[in-house]
Homo-oligomer: A and B are copies of this chain.
């Protein structure tokens, strides 16, 4: 934004009922969608709506309140995008659910900025929508044999993991740094044996497709053991959970 914000002649005064909260919300959503959430400022929004800046404050007490309302809409949109098939076993369901979870937010940066990057700022309505969706997942896990608590923990850990991956990827993309240490960067540093040997296939951002898949699969593997432990024969359980002695490092 290099040119001054306002150069044209002053606007005509608008009629009394010519603005609405919905119109402002839509304008804000469109502006953020077309450019970015960072680009959304009260003056820019007012300009786009051809409205005095201060008029917005009659409908939204603060920018924060506007963002919260935008998040509500975003949550509804996210919810609509998250229709997962019901014909899946619990592990396939979880894999599909969180893969889609990640993909939806990766495809729609605004949803990611509003919901993932601003967690904790959910309105009651947004929370209600999210809770409804989470309940569906928990229900499936319980149906598969998990206790309510285990299901809640399972969901929480996968949700935290997925949102963590999204957060890191988005933060990484936002920084204009040059790919952070080009391939082979550790080639000359002494002592980085393992890192050097895998640096062709692993990126330090830890945010790649393969990375995410591994963590998701690994967590599901852990859950599988957790679930089976309640029903499997003693010998297998013992073999599965007993950790080999020794093998301790320096």
**Which A residues are within 8 Å of any B CB, using their own CB?**
85-93, 96, 117-122, 124, 127-128, 130-132, 134-135, 138-140, 142-145, 148-149, 151-165, 167-168, 171-175, 177, 180-181, 186, 189, 191-195, 197-198, 201-202, 204-207, 210-212, 214-215, 217-226, 228, 232, 236, 239-240, 243-244, 247-250
Contact = CB atoms under 8 A, between A and B. Distances in A.
Contacts of A145: 247
Given A135-B195, A189-B128, A215 B156 contact: yes
25 contacts: A85-B250, A87-B248, A87-B250, A92-B248, A93-B249, A119-B171, A120-B172, A120-B205, A122-B180, A127-B180, A135-B195, A138-B194, A139-B193, A139-B194, A140-B249, A143-B247, A149-B202, A153-B211, A156-B202, A156-B214, A157-B161, A157-B211, A157-B215, A218-B219, A225-B225
A247 B160 CA distance: 26
Given A120-B172, A164-B160, A215-B160, A232 B221 contact: no
A98 to B, nearest CB: 12
A247 to B, nearest CB: 5
Query: What is the total number of copies of this protein in its complex?
Result: 2
A240 B225 contact: yes
A203 to B, nearest CB: 9
Nearest to A235: B236
A167 to B, nearest CB: 5
Nearest to A141: B194
A180 B122 CA distance: 8
Contact of A206 (B118, B148, B160, B236): B160
